[in-house]
Amino acid sequence: MTPAPASQAAPARRAPPSPARQALHKLGLVRDIDLALYLPLRYEDETRITPIGSAREGATVQVEGTVTACEVQYQPRRQLVVRLQDATGSCELRFFSFYPSHQKAMAVGTRLRARGEVRGGFWGRQMLHPAFKRAEGELPAALTPVYPTVAQLPQAYLRRAIATALTRVPLPETIPPELAPPPAAGAQAAWSLREALFFLHHPPPEAALAALEDRSHPAWHRLKAEELLAQQLSQWRARRERAGLAAPVLRPGREAPLHEQLLAALPFSLTAAQRRVSGEILRDLGQARPMHRLLQGDVGSGKTVVAALAACVCIDAGWQCALMAPTEILAEQHFAKLVEWLEPLLAARGRHVAWLAGAQKKRERASMLAAIEDGTAALVVGTHAVIQEQVRFHRLALAVIDEQHRFGVAQRLALRRKLHEGAEAGRALEPHLLMMSATPIPRTLAMSYYADLDVSTIDELPPGRTPVLTRLVSDSRREEVIQRIAAQVAAGRQVYWVCPLIEESEALDLSNATATHLELSEALPQVRVGLLHSRMPVADKRAVMEEFKAGRMGVLVSTTVIEVGVDVPNASLMVIEHAERFGLSQLHQLRGRVGRGAAASACVLMYSTGETGRLGETARERLRAMHETTDGFEIARRDLEIRGPGEFLGARQSGDALLRFADLQQDAPLLEWAREAAPQLLERHPQLAEQHIERWLGSRAEFLKA
Ligand code: ADP
Ligand code: MG
């Protein structure tokens, strides 16, 4: 057995950690400070005893009395019935699940405290499954905290662990008075961190419970300020660290620069917005420090060509560029487009565009890997395969990630490592990073979670696009919709029909899409109807996609695999079945598949109200938003309102990185404060800043940088 490493946090021990301790660690509760910052969900009032005689029906109270009866009854079902008596009356406690230990603990004659909701009844007052304990010692002076917990971690254990940690943990102030957060509304004086924490864990009985539970209390205000500051600090620090790193300076060649050759060869000219963001990106690439930029632009706004221009500059300077997309279909589309645009230009220089994906013939893959390693692959396009271990770049200087929010934290960290490997040996050069997203980030999120990113926004669609008309249609009108498809196809247009993903059952999902495929094939005998599903072999998917792109297929039935990136300008109708099951940004992305050509396009959101006969509240809000606007930013703002920030963060969303206490909408003034205070704290009190980050983020700080 290898001895456990000595660590300050936990003394070396031979026994394996108990399940409860393991559960603590899983929740990230390792250090005393982690426990101290783990705050109650709500409180129970065990500070007072209500005389049984005055306990009112429906109230949750604590009573104390002597057990006068304790017996198991079998009618109407097996249960333990205990009678508790005090000077004012009596009350029955009923337990439908119980152990012999219950009977022992509540034997006749025992003094007992029981807490629960009082119910009336023919037989007088009752409590079902009350919390109970032997009436010993004084009543607690503070409200009893109830913490969020998991099955393996008993509430009592967690409470004890937190209470102990709280007595031990040093809580020095890390925010100097001159940078203090604005006081909470109506608060007399600012709270120290120590006061706030002790108060929140053990509030006195007279505390305003409502303000505690809705987190508007000044003590919460203090905690939220701390948390937001930690987030800003870690991002500022990441930004400063990056600014201190060296990156290859990428400038276009003097003669016939590649990006200008590309511009000249394109069948269109850039929009003003594309020109502007390209300028921003090219400026970054020309610096000796790594770019860390997010390129956001609505679906169809033309991000790919901007990425291609950046790749050109990188290649021109003699380096390699990698482009990674979350799905094989999307990666392949990029590949096709980039080959079309760049291969003629690159071939003259003896360089090429390479393709890497999971499903790839061994021989092809080997030759791609060789080309990447010897540098003839100037641009490498692919899925996650791009960051796999066998891939060795010759000189990687720029990485582009499409639909960045779809990648997980681990993948982003892997990419960073890969970037390092690819940097020139001996000189620790850090490559530039360009992330792309069609899900615009609302301002509050950009200010908080993405504060370490520079953001470029394409806020204009290429000319000649016709706005997509969105219609909400009940699925009782399915026939009508199918007839509409026939008309579109007869007019030479193409149609997408999207079936929802059924989360619980991929098999059901497949059968659904298959059934719809069959139904449409039968209803439209003169039309070729294709089927695309995530479980299909890649080669089949590719074949179907090619048929559709080439216009040889009128209708494409698919699951959400077409969600991102698919580009078929001739498609003018999008039907989304069970639209009520999709998320808002998903619907918006899907709708973005049509309206890419000159023909008037429409999106039919077909909804089903199911057995209830009506749509749920959020489903209705989502569909309404889709109907009312096609503006990606507005959609994103509403989505944030409906769902909260989790979905936007993608990679960063993995629990830990999320704000636990602060709410970006509600606490906007605190966010503003944190944004101003963070750089000043870093500048003037670097040690306090470090201490603050360490306290709040500890080992999680690394993740936030990904
Ligand atoms: P997204 O931002 O959603 O990734 P794409 O890069 O796929 O958008 O571009 C959508 C379509 O618009 C593509 O067919 C692309 O070639 C075309 N496109 C891009 N920029 C322009 C432009 N300035 N003028 C006309 N078409 C353009
Ligand atoms: Mg795209």
Are 261-458 and 468-629 the same fold in CATH? Answer: yes
Homologous superfamily of the 261-458 domain (CATH): P-loop containing nucleotide triphosphate hydrolases (3.40.50.300)
Q: Pick 48-134's CATH classification: 2.30.30.40, 3.90.1170.40, 2.40.30.10, 2.40.50.140.
A: 2.40.50.140
Ligand nearest to the CA of 589: 1
Which pLDDT does position 340 carry in this prediction?
A: 92
**CATH number, span 468-629:** 3.40.50.300
Which pLDDT does position 421 carry in this prediction?
A: 65
Ligand 1 touching residue 296 (CB < 6 A): no
Structure confidence at residue 280 as a pLDDT band (50, 70, 90)? very high
Ligand 1, atom 15: nearest CA belongs to which residue?
302
Please identify every residue whose CB atom is under 5 Å from ligand 2, which is an ion: 565
Span 477-489, pLDDT tens digits: 999 999 999 999 9
For residues 207-219, b (16+ Cβ closer than 10 Å) or e, as one string?
Answer: beeebbeebebbb
Q: d(Cα 92, Cα 118) in Å, to the nearest integer?
A: 10
* Strands 111-117 vs 60-73: parallel, antiparallel or unpaired: antiparallel
Best of 268, 277, 323, 434 for a ligand 1 pocket test (most atoms within 8 Å of beta carbon): 268
Ligand nearest to the CA of 299: 1
Average pLDDT of the chain is 85
With a cut of 50, say whether residue 619 has pLDDT above it: yes
Span from the CA of 581 to the centroid of ligand 2 (angstroms) = 24
Per-domain residue ranges for the chain? 48-134, 178-246+676-706, 261-458, 468-629
Ligand 1 touching residue 305 (CB < 6 A): yes
Neighbours of 87 (CB within 10 A): 8
Ligand 1 touching residue 268 (CB < 6 A): yes
Q: d(Cα 658, Cα 231) in Å, to the nearest integer?
A: 9
Look up residue 88 and give its two tokens.
């004012």
Span from the CA of 274 to the centroid of ligand 1 (angstroms) = 10
Average pLDDT over residues 522-527: 93
* CA distance readout (Å), 358 to 324, 327, 691: 12, 10, 43
Ligand 1 touching residue 567 (CB < 6 A): yes
Structure confidence at residue 405 as a pLDDT band (50, 70, 90)? low
Atom of ligand 1 nearest to the CA of 274: 23
Span from the CA of 271 to the centroid of ligand 1 (angstroms) = 10
* CA distance readout (Å), 485 to 272, 497, 562, 600: 36, 10, 18, 14
Span 154-196, pLDDT tens digits: 999 999 999 999 999 999 999 999 999 988 877 777 789 999 9
* Cα angle, residue 335 at apex, residues 332 and 338 outer, rounded to 5°: 150
Can you tell me whether residue 112 is helix, strand or coil?
A: strand
- On whether the CB atoms of residues 353 and 377 are closer than 8 A, the answer is yes
